[in-house]
Structure 1
Amino acid sequence: MGKIGNQQMLREINKSLLLHLIYQHGPVSRIELSRQTKLSPSTVSILVEEALREGIIYETGTSGSGVGRRVTLLNIKADSGYVLGLDLAGAQCVLLNMRGEIKASRTIPRLIGETAIWQELVGIVDDFLDSCPISRDQLRRIGVSVPGRVDETSQKVLRAIPLQLEEMNLGGFLEMTYQVPVSLFNDLDAAGFAERFNGVAQGLSTLVYILIDYGVGAGIVINDKIYRGSSGGAGRIRVFSPYCTERLALRLRQEYPEVFSDQGLTSKEVLHKFMEDGMRTEGPLHKELGALVDHLSAYCGAILQFINPEQLILNGWITENQAFFDRLTAKIREHEANVFERPTPIKPASWKELGAAVGAATLGLHHIFKMKMVD
């Protein structure tokens, strides 16, 4: 590479460093950027002016008081672009601006199988984007969360059993359709990241995230790094499979037809009724719910003893009834009792059903503002 090429590459690296810091710490001054990056004030000024002309950042005002010099602060311009987040398991989509704020969200049809995704996904995404107050050229990136294994380099879905997918080039398909970069993520990794970035786990570096909903699984973060296991299979908790929304609702309908005779109830509504009736009445449902709590709590307690995380985050239908959640939490603490000096905090996910979609979009946003490195 010639001298001009080297200079251009260095310029791009320095500019990405500045944008990364503005994204992470804005509003921030040019002086502070120079101090943190060790770049000269003149270099910072030139690159900042370029970003201002491009509309990526803007001057938010000044800071300082008294006789000292006031400095102008810089921040990312929120409406300079947008990131789409898709959760194919939870059937949700969200649109974030460049500051990570949700501008729109929607529940979408749940698509099962490669054929359904090829034929219907683009129409669903187009309909959502058309309802948003943005132009298509403002879409900067797409993040997709999938309930299974993905190759984040090739952007392929390797295997997603709940969606009946295997070796699907989903990322390439969406990139070709929308002409923007696409990133694929495991749905539990994405949802856990959403909680760490601006949810109940901000500032924590070791945590366990458990989802029991239309799918089941766990996301594990140890010392700020996602733990996937030797073959990418960490977090598979098939022992909880009987409690996923559809399977449990179907069994309850079959075994207790006199209670769940209303055919108009959705699977989630069946589980809500199960929790309400099982918590307040004696009888078969009370025993059924008690056995479920015993099983879930024993497993979760074992996880806490083994990993000793800073926090356990639960999500899915098990968090949607406060009395049930309190009972489950208390039972988990019994299994953890006398093991550690203090009990592990157990909290419901703050993002609820939007977690994986918000996490996928936020991870996509981080890709936009990550620091470029020399290959």
Structure 2
Amino acid sequence: MEKQDQILMKKQNKTYVLELIKNMAPISRMQISKNTKMSPTSITRIVGELQEQGFVKETKLVTSGVGRKATLLDVCGDVLFTIGVELDKAVLKIGIVNYVGGMIDLQTYVRNPLESYEETVQNINDKVKNIIEQNAIPVGKIIGLAVGLPGSIDYENGIVRVAEQLRWKDVHLVRDLSKLTSLNVVIDNELKMKIIAENTVGKAKDSKSSILVGIGSGIGSAILLNGEVHRGESNNAGEIGHTVIDPNGNVCSCGKFGCLCTYISEGAILADAKKMKDISSIDEVFVAFRDGESWALNILDRTATYIALAISNLACLYEPECIILSGNLIDKMPEMKQQIEEKCERYMWEPIKKNLHIVHSSLGSQGVVLGAAIQAQNSLFDIN
């Protein structure tokens, strides 16, 4: 037992030192010793082991100031890779991300919404193999892949419980995708993947409490509390799309009436627009808005109101440091951000409002893929 404890402590120390170098590079061995309160001898040994494993390298940089110069250390980004996948109703995105969170390649494909589950899994497998080959990444350096998709996800057991947009129910995605790709696989709700990216490299970097609101083909949110993704009992925390705002309202695909997603999603906006004009795409609504057509102004003003009310409710429930607006609707219509902020100013409770920052995601189209790849690394990486 004592030997096992020593092995575990050595592993923990090694992981701690590696994370420190990763987050503070370039950094000297002496600075690592000061930060970790480990002896210089221990740090020299651990750094040596990390160099042998290919995680750490010496740079050409040295410390400044008087006295003996010390060589600074950095991590090797190409020591390992993870693959992130975003799966939505009409799009499939696949990216390769290195150890330090750099996107090596991102490829986007149009997906047939009528594609079967089996066809989709095979398609992911084919595209994953293609991107690995095209970038000449050694398979041995890929520690796994992660998929972010809309719906209710049992991430612990690797099962998609319900994905209405994909028309999936109780499918064993981790099992089936692992079998095809021969890789370790992680799955989760797309917004939970995206808030991990925001918390690592985005607008919520190092935040302890933030909420990501995604508005596009549906609407949902992901909640970060105490630096961890808040999941609830069955990983459905944040599914604001199915909060009822009018019990006598629009019928939802879930079978209830008046769900928020029946008023805010792109499909809902398009359905309202078609009552006013013969159009076929959400982009035409945006063009009409910018042209000042009254019907488009009214529809998107109503949409902004519902979004602001949802944000206000989330803020009162969780009082986060910031709320991040993201998704196709926000990306294509950045003018909406100002409208939403103005309505939040009107509807939000004053004690909450004064400390809350509402920001626009800067990760764009790669947010879910990047978050998925980071989640794969967090879940699957073992320093040994």
Whether the TM-score (by the shorter chain) exceeds 0.5 is yes
**Matched residues in 2 for 1:69 and 1:311: separation?**
44
Number of the residue aligned with 2:105: 104
5+ residue gaps, structure 1, are: 264-269
Number of the residue aligned with 1:204: 207
Over 3 Å counting, the alpha-carbon distance change for 1:159 and 1:28 in structure 2 is farther
CA deviation map 1:89-142 (0-9, x unaligned): 262222111111111101134365422233322112222223224233332221
Displacement after TM superposition at 1:14 (Å): 3.2
**Counterpart AA for 2:200:** F
**Counterpart AA for 2:345:** R
Displacement after TM superposition at 1:10 (Å): 4.4
**Counterpart AA for 1:132:** N
Percent of residue pairs identical: 22
CA contact (8 A) 2:125 2:181 kept: no
Pair 1:119 & 2:122 matched:
yes
**Matched residues in 2 for 1:297 and 1:353: separation?**
23
Query: What secondary structure does 2:346 align onto?
Result: helix
Query: What secondary structure does 1:65 align onto?
Result: coil
Pair 1:245 & 2:266 matched:
yes
Over 3 Å counting, the alpha-carbon distance change for 1:339 and 1:53 in structure 2 is closer
Number of the residue aligned with 2:286: 275
**Matched residues in 1 for 2:48 and 2:126: separation?**
40
Displacement after TM superposition at 1:272 (Å): 3.0
TM-score (norm 1): 0.85
Displacement after TM superposition at 1:251 (Å): 5.0
**Counterpart AA for 1:240:** L
**Matched residues in 2 for 1:72 and 1:117: separation?**
49
CA deviation map 1:318-357 (0-9, x unaligned): 3122333322221222112644462632222111222111
CA contact (8 A) 1:337 1:343 kept: no
**Matched residues in 1 for 2:145 and 2:293: separation?**
49
Number of the residue aligned with 1:266: none
5+ residue gaps, structure 2, are: 243-258
Moved over 4 A (4+): 5-10, 368-372
Number of the residue aligned with 1:34: 33
Query: What secondary structure does 2:13 align onto?
Result: helix
**Matched residues in 2 for 1:177 and 1:43: separation?**
43
Over 3 Å counting, the alpha-carbon distance change for 1:222 and 1:10 in structure 2 is closer
Over 3 Å counting, the alpha-carbon distance change for 1:295 and 1:178 in structure 2 is closer
1:1-375 to 2 correspondences below 5 Å: 3=3, 8-89=7-88, 91-110=92-111, 113-236=116-239, 237-238=241-242, 239-242=259-262, 243-252=264-273, 254-258=274-278, 260=279, 270-319=281-330, 320-336=332-348, 338-340=350-352, 342=354, 344-367=356-379
**Counterpart AA for 1:192:** I
- Higher mean displacement: 350-359 or 169-178: 169-178
CA contact (8 A) 1:95 1:102 kept: yes
CA deviation map 1:139-159 (0-9, x unaligned): 222122122333443333333
RMSD: 2.8
Aligned length: 361
